[in-house]
Amino acid sequence: MSQPQPSEKELLQNLLPPLLDDFQYWFSRSRSLLESEEITFLSQQEQTELLARVKHAQQEVSTAQMLFQATGRQVGLEVATLMPWHQLVSDCWQVAMQWRSLKSEPTELPNSGEEQI
């Protein structure tokens, strides 16, 4: 027996809130990293601009969440609205992965004239 297909309204109501929550989560993590660490492979201007983009996206997602709730979960978002957020999350992941990779590289011990085991 086949399961009934959910309506567009049901899909919207079931998928949009967790998707927006995910955007908020990743933007929050990215913002925390960008505000607390010096990302040495980015110029100060690049880091400042990326942080500004993250803050702006957080505000946009918050607005979308408020509108969704205020309309009784009746309003949706166009893919054209979601794609820049998705791209920004991807950009932030790339920065975070590279930053973690640099942080995990072993540092050389000072040479004391004795061989280290």
The pairs formed by 63-69 with CB atoms below 8 angstroms and a separation of 24 or more are 64/20, 65/17, 65/20, 65/24, 68/16, 68/17, 68/20
Q: Indicate the pTM of the whole model.
A: 0.82
pLDDT recorded at residue 109: 52
Average pLDDT over residues 88-113: 83
pLDDT band for 3, please (50, 70, 90 cuts). Answer: confident
Name the residue ranges covered by the structural domains of the chain.
Answer: 8-101
